[in-house]
């Protein structure tokens, strides 16, 4: 299986690369700056030619175009993992530019990468697109407020996923919004209850179980359906 993972130099993205590589996938890892991705590039040795590292800034349309043009098909699984969490993100100190940047990276860029890779996804005949969302993107689950830019961007990503589920049906491409839980990464912090390997193992297991009738849905890393 050929897998594309964005934001692959650290955190959940890097662990996705590790676990996909271990199970025998051919992995195309997109990172902003390969020269600063030593942990990722260190995995190339021992990957038997199955790990390819590409320059990819998902927020830069020219970078996404160049990445797509250089990517061989088919792509069986696209994981739109790259994301940012704006801080501070509370009502008292909102920053408009930061809000816009968060929206661009977390929502617009995932859609842009998906559209750019449609030829490779179509070529797979039954590809899956996984958008890394968050429980904080659930409107139904928002019981304490705050996290404006992050919540808004992930809610928008969820809506994009829902539409992709409809629009890509005829191409046989399935789309899912997945929440990894609260995970120990730079973004999640050390107090997060879920280890990154546990979250990623769960995400990959859920992805392999999801079926056409689940497309456009929102699931957590244990497979539970999350309310919008």
Residues of the shown chain interacting with ligand NDP in the complex, contacts defined by CB under 6 A: 6-7, 9-13, 32, 56-59, 81-84, 105, 132, 134, 179-180, 182-183, 185-188, 192
Closer to ligand NDP by Cβ: residue 180 or 216: 180
Closer to ligand NDP by Cβ: residue 76 or 151: 151
Closer to ligand NDP by Cβ: residue 54 or 122: 54
CA 188 to chain centre: 15
Q: Compute the least distance from the CB of residue 70 to ligand NDP, in Å.
A: 16
Closer to ligand NDP by Cβ: residue 2 or 134: 134
Phi-psi region of 145 (alpha: psi -120 to 50; beta: other; left: phi over 0): left
Phi, psi at 3, each rounded to 5°: -120, 135
Residue of 59, 61, 134, 142 whose CA lies nearest to 103? 59
Q: Compute the least distance from the CB of residue 197 to ligand NDP, in Å.
A: 12
Closer to ligand NDP by Cβ: residue 104 or 122: 104
Q: Compute the least distance from the CB of residue 172 to ligand NDP, in Å.
A: 25
Closer to ligand NDP by Cβ: residue 49 or 100: 100
Q: Compute the least distance from the CB of residue 219 to ligand NDP, in Å.
A: 13
Could you count the other beta carbons within 10 Å of the beta carbon of residue 184? Answer: 19
Q: Compute the least distance from the CB of residue 170 to ligand NDP, in Å.
A: 28
Could you count the other beta carbons within 10 Å of the beta carbon of residue 59? Answer: 16
Q: Compute the least distance from the CB of residue 184 to ligand NDP, in Å.
A: 7
């Amino acid at each position: 299986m050929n897998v594309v993972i964005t934001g692959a130099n650290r955190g959940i993205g890097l662990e996705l690369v590790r676990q996909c590589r271990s199970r025998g996938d051919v992995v195309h890892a997109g990172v902003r700056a390969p020269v600063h991705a030593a942990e990722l590039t260190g995995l190339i040795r021992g990957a038997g030619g199955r790990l390819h590292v590409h320059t990819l800034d998902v927020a830069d349309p020219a970078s996404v175009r160049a990445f797509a043009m250089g990517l061989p098909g088919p792509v069986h699984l696209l994981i739109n993992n790259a994301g940012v969490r704006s801080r501070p993100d509370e009502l008292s100190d909102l920053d408009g530019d930061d809000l816009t940047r968060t929206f661009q990276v977390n929502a617009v860029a995932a859609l842009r990468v998906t559209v750019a890779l449609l030829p490779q996804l179509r070529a797979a005949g039954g590809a899956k697109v996984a958008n890394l969302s968050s429980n904080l993107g659930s409107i139904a689950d928002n019981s304490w407020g705050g996290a404006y830019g992050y919540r808004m961007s992930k809610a928008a990503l969820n809506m994009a996923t829902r539409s992709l589920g409809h629009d890509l049906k005829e191409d046989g491409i399935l789309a899912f919004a997945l929440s990894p839980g609260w995970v120990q990464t730079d973004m999640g912090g050390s107090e997060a209850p879920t280890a990154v390997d546990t979250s990623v193992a769960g995400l990959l297991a859920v992805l392999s179980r999801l079926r056409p009738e689940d497309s456009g849905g929102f699931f957590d890393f244990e497979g539970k359906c999350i309310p919008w």
